[in-house]
């Protein structure tokens, strides 16, 4: 008999969010186990050859790793396809899921940049990515390829979630004037599968993570904390 699937997670991981979003979109019940990536349990090291989350334990007790094959597996085994029928469109969607991973790498470069110069370079690279993306989005919306929701939406919702936190303390301007992207972002932020993909503490957890980076972004966040506490005292 098959058991409920388990998503092996980390609270902040955007790749884990992709799988959580797809499971919710499919209304598939699942359990979650959270891993401390700084202290990985032995069973996890055995089940995850790259030492990364997400990991999906299927109902038959098999472990799958890497978010792209995990979400494709979920798409093929649970009712309600999130990939287009046409092979050429499906290939294009897969490419934009990979594009989302490159944008996530760019966000990593942004929050890890030690100096302003590297921070500005990371910002410029992200701006180029989003200018390209703007032209790919169906202007009618509400999602990447219009309606319905697709795996590309599941891949970009966690990308936009970073900006929801960053926008509070830094004016990045990477999405400025990109109307299709902004509309898409706002729509995704309200989607129940996106909302429930992270814990309620996500925003504060991400801020704590960013403070610990000892990077230019950590410095900007600290400056904003100082300004906020000075305002609160007056």
Alpha helix positions (H), the chain: 14-25, 42-47, 67-77, 87-112, 116-136, 151-166, 179-190, 192-195, 202-211, 216-233
Q: Are 88 and 42 in contact (CB under 8 A)?
A: no
Of 15 and 163, the one with the shorter C-beta distance to ligand GSH is 15
CA distance linking residue 55 with residue 67, whole number of Å: 8
Closest approach, Cβ 188 to ligand GSH, in A, equals: 19
The correct pick among 5, 9, 15, 24 for binding ligand GSH (CB under 6 A) is 15
Binding mask 53-92 toward ligand GSH (x if CB under 6 A, else -) reads: xx-----------xxx------------------------
Stretch that binds ligand GSH, among 10-18, 132-140, 201-209, 217-225 (CB under 6 A): 10-18
What is the total count of residues that contact ligand GSH (CB under 6 A)? 11
Q: Which residue, among 160, 197, 143, has the nearest Cα to 19 in the 3D structure? A: 197
Q: What does the angle CA 164 – CA 165 – CA 170 come to, to the nearest 5 degrees?
A: 100
Does 37 engage in binding with ligand GSH (CB under 6 A)? yes
Closest approach, Cβ 52 to ligand GSH, in A, equals: 3
Contact residues: ligand GSH, CB under 6 A: 10, 13, 15, 37, 51-54, 66-68
């Amino acid at each position: 008999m098959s058991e409920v699937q388990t998503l092996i997670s980390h609270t902040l991981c955007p790749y884990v969010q992709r799988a959580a979003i797809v499971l919710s979109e499919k209304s598939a019940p699942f359990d979650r186990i959270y891993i401390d990536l700084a202290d990985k349990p032995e069973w996890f090291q055995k089940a995850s050859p790259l030492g990364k989350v997400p990991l999906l334990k299927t109902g038959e007790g098999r472990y799958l790793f890497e978010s792209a094959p995990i979400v494709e597996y979920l798409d093929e085994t649970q009712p309600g396809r999130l990939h287009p029928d046409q092979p050429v469109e499906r290939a294009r969607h897969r490419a934009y899921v990979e594009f989302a991973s490159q944008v996530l790498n760019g966000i990593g470069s942004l929050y890890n940049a030690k100096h302003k110069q590297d921070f500005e370079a990371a910002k410029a690279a992200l701006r180029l990515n989003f200018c390209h993306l703007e032209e790919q989005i169906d202007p009618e919306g509400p999602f990447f390829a219009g309606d319905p929701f697709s795996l590309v939406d599941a891949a970009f919702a966690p990308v936009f979630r970073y900006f929801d936190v960053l926008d509070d303390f830094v004016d990045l301007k990477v999405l400025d004037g990109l109307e299709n992207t902004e509309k898409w972002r706002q729509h995704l932020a309200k989607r129940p599968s996106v909302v429930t993909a992270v814990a309620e503490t996500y925003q504060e957890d991400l801020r704590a993570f960013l403070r610990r980076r000892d990077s230019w972004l950590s410095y900007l966040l600290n400056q904003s904390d100082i300004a906020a506490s000075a305002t609160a005292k007056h």
